A = this chain, B = another copy of it.
Amino acid sequence: MISLCGDSRPRLSVGAQPRGVFVTARISNIRTHNLCLLGFGNVNRTLVRLLADRADELRSRYGISYRITGIASRRLGWIANPNGMDPDAYVDEKSVERALLPAKSQESNHTLSNVQDWLSAAQADILFEATSLNVRTGQPAVDHIRAALRHGAHAITANKGPIVHAYRELRDLAAAQGKKFLFESTVMDGVPIFSLFDQLPAIHLQGFHGILNSTTNVILGEMEQGLTFDQALKKAQQLGVAETDATHDIDGWDAAVKTAALVTVLMDFPIRLNEDEIEREGIRDLTPQALRNAKRDGWPFKLVCRAHRAGDSVKASVKPEKVLASSPMGKISGTSSYVYFETDIFPGLAITEENPGLYATAYGMLADFVRAVRD
């Protein structure tokens, strides 16, 4: 995941007038959707800015209007106003204090103990779930999504945990409720991987390999240039790529959870994160010397994700591998990512994402929003 860093409100640069695809008729019915944001860190804050930037286009091309009726986070508790609220009022402590002066606002905050109450108070149509990953249980994100679907809202998440720990349950609950459970931002920053396969009916995915974790890719690249592990990690953090606690990335958990998400959804096999099913090895044991030697020999190390069918099962791994420097994986540097799918129709179908922009992850959620409500 790419975090925002530096100026907290970068502007979008759009080089051309909005143009779209497959949209022809003038939109006559505009529907306004009530949006609720759970977790109010970089992803959902960026989503707010992106939604504002694209508001006119969503309205004119897709007939989609929105208002933000709920914000919730550990810091804020929950806040709801079914008439809509200004999310900018909640970006820092001072503005929160101002916004919640009783005389100034209909909004009031509550402890985040009952998500259902919040969604009801906010009259939520869509939940954007962007809390942190819990590798072991997927909680509390699983509960949040369950609550949203039971409430009758579409549930959109940037959190991989619920897919690995509760995909089938949440998918079936969504179907039963006639709502969508979408999660395009969980792998490759919102590049439409899951949506792509939704456009590939009756195809059979035999396996895949790729590079799906930016933090380790940046660290390995910096160490090849001569930095120590600690220096490289610090650089990745300064770049806004690595989080303060980068353990999940470094030990291969983030890549393993992404691999598991792809296996679970695209190969219809609910793989578990234990060592029997996903062999997992991080990058801690790679020395700068080993990395430099490998790079010099034309076979640099990358943290490679793999999965393939083995009988009725799927075997997967995440571990450092030497790859040919001139191969597609050998050329994935910095925050770029790559995945190569083997299918019975397309023997090799590969997607490369080069240098994702600051808005990529949030865009995946915006696109999920459009997908959820336009069908």
CB within 8 Å of B: which of A358-375?
A: 359-360, 363, 366-367, 370-371, 374-375
Minimum CB distance partner of A175 in chain B: B24
CA distance A25 to B174 in the complex (A): 11
CA distance A355 to B343 in the complex (A): 12
- Chain B residues with CB below 8 A from A366, complex form: 201-202
CB within 8 Å of B: which of A139-192?
A: 171-172, 175, 190-192
Contacting residue for A357 out of B62, B347, B354, B359, CB 8 A: B347
Specify which of A171, A175, A195 lies most central, judged by the most chain B CB atoms within 10 Å of its CB. Answer: A195
B353 adjacent to A349 (CB under 8 Å):
yes
Selecting from A12-20, A219-227, A275-283, the interface stretch reads A12-20
Contacting residue for A22 out of B54, B61, B198, CB 8 A: B198
Minimum CB distance partner of A58 in chain B: B202
- Chain B residues with CB below 8 A from A62, complex form: 201-202
- Chain B residues with CB below 8 A from A204, complex form: 14-16, 18-19
A370 adjacent to B175 (CB under 8 Å):
no
B196 adjacent to A196 (CB under 8 Å):
yes
User: Separation in Å of the A358 CB from the closest CB of chain B?
Assistant: 10
CA distance A22 to B201 in the complex (A): 10
> How many identical subunits does the complex contain?
2
- Chain B residues with CB below 8 A from A88, complex form: none
A286 within 8 A of B: no
A19 adjacent to B196 (CB under 8 Å):
no
A352 within 8 A of B: yes
CA distance A374 to B360 in the complex (A): 29
Interface residues on A, range: 35 or more
Specify which of A12, A22, A359 lies most central, judged by the most chain B CB atoms within 10 Å of its CB. Answer: A22
Minimum CB distance partner of A182 in chain B: B22
Contacting residue for A202 out of B22, B57, B352, CB 8 A: B57
A21 within 8 A of B: yes
A268 adjacent to B20 (CB under 8 Å):
yes
Specify which of A61, A346, A351 lies most central, judged by the most chain B CB atoms within 10 Å of its CB. Answer: A346
A359 adjacent to B345 (CB under 8 Å):
yes
B355 adjacent to A197 (CB under 8 Å):
no
- Chain B residues with CB below 8 A from A199, complex form: 192, 195-196, 198-199, 367, 371
User: Separation in Å of the A305 CB from the closest CB of chain B?
Assistant: 17
CA distance A122 to B270 in the complex (A): 44
User: Separation in Å of the A309 CB from the closest CB of chain B?
Assistant: 5
Q: Can you pick out 5 interface pairs between chain A and chain B where the beta carbons lie within 8 Å of each other?
A: A16-B309, A57-B202, A199-B367, A201-B366, A348-B352
Query: A19-B267, A21-B194 known; 16 other A-B pairs, CB under 8 Å?
Result: A15-B309, A16-B204, A19-B268, A22-B171, A22-B265, A61-B202, A62-B201, A190-B345, A201-B367, A202-B366, A203-B363, A328-B331, A344-B357, A345-B357, A347-B354, A348-B354
Q: Which residues of A contact B (CB under 8 A)?
A: 12-16, 18-22, 24-25, 54, 57-58, 61-62, 171-172, 175, 190-192, 194-206, 265-269, 309, 326, 328, 331, 336, 344-357, 359-360, 363, 366-367, 370-371, 374-375
